[in-house]
Copies of this chain bind each other. A is one copy, B any other.
Amino acid sequence: MFRIGDFSRIARVSCRLLRYYDEISLLSPHYVDGDSGYRYYSAAQLPRLNRILVLRELGLSLGQIARVMEDNLSPSELRAMLLLRRSDVERAVEAESDRLRLIEVSIAQIDNNGELSTDDVIMRSEPAHLFLSLRRTVDSFAHARVLIRELHEAVHGRVHSSALGSLVAVAHATEFEADLFDVEIGFTLTETVPVAPTGLILRELEPMHTAAVCVRVGPPEHAHLVTGRIGAFVEASGYELAGSNREFFLQRPRLDHTEDWVVEMQFPIRKRRVIPAQGQAGTLTAPVQFE
Using a CB–CB distance below 8 Å, which chain A residues touch chain B?
10, 12, 43-44, 46-47, 50-51, 53-55, 57-59, 75-76, 78-79, 82-83, 85-86, 89-90, 92-93, 96-97, 99-100, 102-104, 106-107, 110-111, 114-116, 118-124, 214-215, 217, 250-251, 262, 264, 281
Which residues from B are CB-within-8-Å of A82? 103, 106-107, 110
Known: A75-B110, A110-B79. A54 touches B99 (CB 8 A): no
Q: What is the minimal beta-carbon distance from A223 to any residue of chain B, in angstroms? A: 15
Q: What is the minimal beta-carbon distance from A85 to any residue of chain B, in angstroms? A: 6
| Contact (Cβ within 8 A) B120 A104 | no
Q: What is the minimal beta-carbon distance from A203 to any residue of chain B, in angstroms? A: 22
Which residues from B are CB-within-8-Å of A111? 79
A-B contacts besides A44-B262, A53-B122, A78-B116, 5 pairs, CB < 8 Å: A44-B217, A47-B217, A54-B118, A54-B120, A92-B96
| Contact (Cβ within 8 A) B90 A122 | no
Which residues from B are CB-within-8-Å of A215? 43, 46-47, 50
- Chain B residue nearest in CB terms to A90: B100
Q: A169 to B215, alpha carbons, bound, how many Å? A: 68
| Contact (Cβ within 8 A) A85 B114 | no
Known: A44-B217, A120-B51. A89 touches B103 (CB 8 A): yes
Which residues from B are CB-within-8-Å of A119? 50-51, 54-55
Which residues from B are CB-within-8-Å of A121? 50, 54
Which residues from B are CB-within-8-Å of A78? 110, 116
Which of B10, B89, B264, B281 lies in contact with A99, CB distance below 8 A? B89
Q: What is the minimal beta-carbon distance from A204 to any residue of chain B, in angstroms? A: 19
Name which of A107, A121, A123, A281 has the most chain B CB atoms within 10 A of its CB.
A107
Q: A97 to B100, alpha carbons, bound, how many Å? A: 14
Known: A58-B103, A79-B107. A97 touches B86 (CB 8 A): no
Which residues from B are CB-within-8-Å of A99? 57-59, 89
| Contact (Cβ within 8 A) B120 A58 | no
Q: What is the minimal beta-carbon distance from A250 to any residue of chain B, in angstroms? A: 5
